Every structure is written in C-alpha cells, then in structure tokens.
C-alpha cells in the first residue's frame, strides 16, 4: 500500500508509492547529451580569455590551476546598485541585486567530481567556503546558495564540470521554511532538529548510506525523489563558511564516496546538489522581526543530493506533494551494498 510520509524539516507530505514499479534494479543509466568539444569549451585550461575576469582560483599562480571562480556571463542577479524595495500597488518589487558566480571545478573537461582527485575536490569546497564568507560580508545580501547541475536533465548548460553560487537579497521560501521549522523545534525541545534526525537515523541504520567519524549521508524518511540523499556534519555546525581545511578534506572524502556510490548504482545519472547553510547573520531575524538569537544552535548546514530519475507533473505542481516510487529504505540499502570502486 502507498504511504504518506511527513517531512519535519520542510513540513511537506510525500507519497511513497512503490507499486508504481520503479525498483532500484529497474533503474537504467540515463543517456547524457553529446559533450561539448573541448576545443570550444570556455572552462578548459587555455581558454581563460573566454570567461569574465576570475574572482578566485586554487593553483600555483603560474598559469596552472585546480579550480577557478568567475562571474556568470549571463547572471540572474547583478552585484552593482541598490536594492530599492518598494510597493507597486498590492505588489512589491526590488532591483535584481545579488551575485551569480561559476565555480569551474577542474581544468579536465571530462572528469566529474566522483572521479576527481581528493585534493582537487577539497579545493572546490574551499572555494565554496571562501566565496560564501566574502559574499556574506555584503549587508545587501541575505542568503547564498551553492548548487551543482550535472547533466542536461538537471539543468546544466555546459558539460565541463562546474557548479554555481547565487547570492540573493531575500531568503528563499524553501530555506525560510526549513529555518522556521528548525527554530520552532529548538524552542520546544532545546535541541537541533537536524541533530535529532541524524541521531535517530544512526540508531536505526535503515536509511544510512554512508557514515564516518565526521559526516553522515542518509536517504531522508520523506524523500521527494528516488535516491534522494542528505549529507550533514555529525558535529553540530550552522555555518559552512566556518569549516576549516581539515574538515573540508574530510568532507571531500565522504562526499566523493557518496557520488561514487550513486554513479555505481545509477550510472551517469543527471543530478543536482544544493548547499543549505546559515543566512547572513546581519539579517538573522524571524518572521516576526525578532533577532534570531538561537540560529547557531538550531540550524545545521547540509547538502541535498537529488538524482533526476522522475519528472514533476501536474499533480506535484498543483498540490506540492511529491510521488516517490522508491522507498528510501530500499534506496539506502542499494547504495550501501553497491561497490563504489
């Protein structure tokens, strides 16, 4: 029988409907579009002149680099100007102030994060951290999101491995819902909601994909999509920009194993991952306008990893429900048992 499950973080209901027939062994690698030729790729080494001037890089400074950050050539939001929020009758508007950056993860055109050397993966994570810290010093910006689109079906416009950073002058609705749920949980129980979920999952083990001394990745109880995962630090931490280099190296090791297990199980599947970290502390206020004094206690940064194996259709758009044909317990077991090498 189908089952409705409630997500205590996003406070949404999900339908787990295994009768729809999508079992782990039924999943086939999804065909990817033909890769862009390396000779015309603006993200390859030697093609730096085809990107806007870089913001940051990891490398030796002599023309060699492991990863770079450049402004997006077609930004969703721009860094120059004032917000100028004002009413338009019953509506509100503001200028499109923010930042939109591209993290070029490797000079190697055909190497994705699952196969990249550990040091280079850690370098990408350091760039995430450093750009988050820098952007959060801008009082106009409230939230910074880091995300990766891998594959055409996941929204990638270029095949060269890259991820993106967007800073916004408002807190996105999905993140605001998580922040509010975390705060209300803390107000009642004086504990972090994410820590409570993690401790329960580690005790039960049914939905744990990978766990080590520093991080744990689970298939969420109310997963929206088949093989959805959440990665979080085992020690409570609210702000990704405060991670030190040693923690990021440990995260690179853990994250790479998760991606390798996903690739071994599903093939070169399109996927997204998204980092949810603390909003700008300058604007740490709740929905009533009170200063958010417990943000460092109730919030817990995490990555959401979303393979694109199903499509969102009319029912999902119309109701906000998701229908997941693969139970997260089955997905976690399959990912644990697959050989990631």
Each residue's pLDDT expressed in tens, for the chain with a length of 341 residues: 678 888 888 888 887 887 655 555 555 545 454 455 666 888 988 888 889 999 999 986 666 888 999 999 888 888 888 888 888 888 888 888 899 999 999 988 888 899 999 999 999 999 999 999 999 999 899 999 999 999 888 888 888 999 999 999 888 888 989 999 999 999 999 999 999 999 999 999 999 999 999 999 999 999 999 999 999 999 999 999 999 999 999 999 999 999 999 999 999 999 999 999 999 876 555 544 455 788 899 999 999 999 998 887 887 888 878 889 899 999 999 999 999 88
CB contact at 8 A, 216 and 201: yes
pLDDT of 231 reads 98
pLDDT of 60 reads 66
The domains found in the chain, sorted by start residue, are 3-337 (3.30.428.10)
Give the tokens for residue 1: 């029988």
pLDDT of 280 reads 85
pLDDT of 62 reads 66
pTM of the predicted model over 0.85? yes
> Can you tell me the distance from the alpha carbon of 76 to that of 38, in angstroms, rounded to the nearest whole number?
26
Give the tokens for residue 247: 């923690």
CA dihedral 115, 120, 121, 122 (to 10 degrees): 150
pLDDT of 146 reads 96
Closest by Cα among 208, 211, 257 to 234: 211
Residue numbers annotated as active site:
162
- Residues in CB range of 50: below 8 A, 6 or more apart: 42
pLDDT of 69 reads 96
pLDDT of 287 reads 45
pLDDT of 170 reads 86
Cβ-count burial 159-192 (b if 16+ within 10 Å, e if not): bbbbbbbbbbbbbeeebbbbbebbbebbeeeeeb
């Amino acid at each position: 029988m189908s089952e409705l499950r409630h997500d205590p973080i996003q406070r949404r209901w999900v339908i787990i409907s295994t009768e729809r027939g999508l079992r782990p062994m039924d999943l086939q690698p999804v065909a990817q579009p033909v890769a862009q030729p390396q000779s015309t790729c603006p993200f390859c080494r030697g093609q730096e002149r085809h990107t806007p001037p870089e913001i940051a890089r990891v490398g030796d400074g002599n023309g060699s680099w492991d990863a770079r950050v450049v402004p997006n050539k077609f930004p969703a939001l721009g860094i120059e100007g004032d917000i100028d929020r004002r009413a338009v009758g019953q509506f509100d508007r503001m200028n499109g102030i923010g930042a939109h950056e591209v993290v070029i993860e490797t000079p190697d055109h055909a190497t994705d994060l699952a196969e990249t050397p550990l040091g280079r993966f850690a370098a990408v994570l350091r760039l995430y951290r450093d750009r988050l810290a820098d952007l959060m010093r801008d009082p106009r910006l409230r939230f910074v999101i880091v995300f990766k689109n891998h594959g055409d079906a996941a929204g990638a416009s270029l095949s060269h491995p890259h991820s993106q950073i967007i800073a916004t002058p408002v807190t996105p609705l999905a993140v605001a819902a998580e922040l509010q749920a975390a705060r209300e949980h803390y107000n009642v129980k004086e504990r972090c909601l994410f820590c409570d979920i993690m401790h329960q999952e580690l005790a039960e083990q049914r939905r744990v994909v990978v766990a080590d001394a520093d991080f744990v990745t689970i298939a969420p109880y109310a997963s929206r999509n088949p093989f959805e995962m959440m990665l979080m630090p085992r020690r409570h931490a609210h702000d990704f920009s405060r991670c030190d280099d040693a923690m990021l190296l440990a995260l690179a090791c853990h994250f790479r194993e998760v991606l390798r297990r996903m690739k071994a199980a599903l093939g070169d599947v399109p996927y997204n991952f998204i980092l949810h970290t603390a909003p700008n502390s300058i604007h740490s206020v709740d929905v009533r306008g009170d200063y958010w004094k417990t943000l460092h206690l109730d919030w817990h940064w995490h990555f959401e990893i979303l393979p694109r194996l199903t499509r969102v259709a009319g029912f999902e758009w119309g109701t906000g429900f998701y229908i997941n044909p693969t139970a997260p317990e089955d997905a976690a077991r399959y990912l644990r048992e697959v050989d990631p090498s």
